[in-house]
Amino acid sequence: MSVITYRRDLHQIPELDRDLPETTAYVKAVLQKLPCQLSEPVPGAVCAFFDKGRGDAVAFRADMDALPVTETTRAIYASRHPGRMHACGHDGHTAMALALAEWAADRDLPHDLLLIFQPAEETTGGAEDICQAGVFEAHRVRRVFGLHIWPGLPEGEVWTRPGPLMARSSEISFFADGKSVHISRAAEGRDALWAGGMFLHRAYALSAAHENHILRFGRMESGTVRNAISGHTELLGSLRSFDEGTFAAMKEGLARIAGEVGRETGCSCRLTVSAGYPPVRNDIALLSAVERYLGADEPRRLDAPSLAAEDFSFYQQKVPGVFFFLGAGDVPALHAPDFHFPDELVLPKGLAFLCRLAEMP
């Protein structure tokens, strides 16, 4: 079958997180016909190893999970699962990896080939679990590549950059517990809403003093009624950075502010910062080798990194790796209910690029 057929089939059966029974069954049904060793190193994952007798391997990652989004594209191959949708292109990534497997089956490649079909990219970082399972060591992986469909870039063109490509991402949560009383007795209370507002103001002031990051809060809940002092506040946001030093400084500064707000308002304040995903940083030497092998302007160079995040970064902590964007043209944004790339020919173009990487010495 063609890469477009694979993508359309997969698009109809979106599944979430690590619970991917239909998707993994589909992937295994294709791979079982090929001369490869299949394994399931973690729940919801499938790995296909093509032993070419080389003693070292190149790995390619494809993420399989979808999003809890209700599709509005009205495509003839739209999601058959209400409230779930492949709104981030993972169906396309998996389809290209399956087609790459078929192409590689009878090829005499310079390296062994490992294809990683991964769960939970959108949630808790399935890539980290696969790394911890020892897959890279077991197959002697020396380099890893990933390709992500990307709106806003010219259709079918592959883009990347050396060094930082995507941001580190962590969830920031601030909690303040005070004492709720009627506003006529406000002096007897401890105002958790005031604490939340004070924290927000100071957090943004701290952010303005640092570069190479973004800090924003998108949700705040506090209080019960207009004439009672709030007894509890929750403030939820995200911190993203390309630089680990900046991230550490922001994390330390936010913890300091939370302590100050607690002392000044009398509220019990707590800050949590999730581990999140590390930044995607492309290996400069490997990317240079790719560019020398493929020739000028393939891939093309991005001027600046993206503030989006990706758990492909965990693989790059194991071995040299490069992550690429595959242009989808002027289409709706990733994660939108109408995300769609009507020019499906971007998939054969992306596949051709992956095949050339697999042939690289």
- Quick one: 211 and 140 in the same domain? no
- Compute the distance between CA of residue 20 and CA of residue 119 in angstroms, rounded to an integer: 8
For the chain, give the number of residues. Answer: 361
- Quick one: 149 and 33 in the same domain? yes
Q: What is the pLDDT along the chain (361 residues), one digit of tens a residue?
A: 899 999 999 999 999 999 999 999 999 999 999 999 999 999 999 999 999 999 999 999 999 999 999 999 999 999 999 999 999 999 999 999 999 999 999 999 999 999 999 999 999 999 999 999 999 999 999 999 999 999 999 999 999 999 999 999 999 999 999 999 999 999 999 999 999 999 999 999 999 999 889 999 999 999 999 999 999 999 999 999 998 899 999 999 999 999 999 999 999 999 999 989 999 999 999 999 999 999 977 899 999 999 999 999 999 999 999 999 999 999 999 999 999 999 999 999 999 999 999 999 9
Specify the residue for token string 């499906």. Answer: 344
CA distances from 148 to 94, 218, 359 (A): 10, 26, 20
Which one of 223, 251, 273 terminates a domain? 273
Q: Cβ distance 171 to 273 under 8 Å? A: yes
State whether residue 345 is helix, strand or coil. coil
Type and span of the H or E element at 8: helix 3-11
Q: What is the CATH number of the domain that holds 258?
A: 3.30.70.360
- Compute the distance between CA of residue 38 and CA of residue 18 in angstroms, rounded to an integer: 18
What are 172's strand-pairing partners? 237, 273
- Going 82 to 87 to 92 to 95, the CA torsion angle's sign is negative
- Quick one: 204 and 289 in the same domain? no
pLDDT digits (tens, 9 = 90+) for 165-200: 999 999 999 999 999 999 999 999 999 999 999 999
DSSP code at position 228: B
- Quick one: 29 and 156 in the same domain? yes
- Quick one: 42 and 154 in the same domain? yes
State whether residue 160 is helix, strand or coil. strand
Q: Give CA angle at 92 (303, 116), nearest 5°.
A: 90
Q: Cβ distance 244 to 283 under 8 Å? A: no
Please compute, for residue 57, the number of CA atoms within 13 A of its CA located in the half-sphere on the CB side: 22
- Quick one: 8 and 100 in the same domain? yes
Which one of 209, 240, 273 terminates a domain? 273
- Quick one: 82 and 120 in the same domain? yes
SS3 annotation, 263-304 = HHHCCEEEEEECCCECCEEECHHHHHHHHHHHCCCCCEECCC
Which one of 239, 258, 273 terminates a domain? 273
Number of domains in the chain: 2
- Compute the distance between CA of residue 115 and CA of residue 313 in angstroms, rounded to an integer: 17
Type and span of the H or E element at 202: helix 192-208
Contacts of residue 275, defined as CB under 8 A and 6 or more positions apart, other chains included, come to: 170
Q: Would you tell me how many other CB atoms lie within 10 Å of the CB of residue 338? A: 14
pTM: 0.93
Tell me which residue range forms the domain holding 144. 3-166+279-358
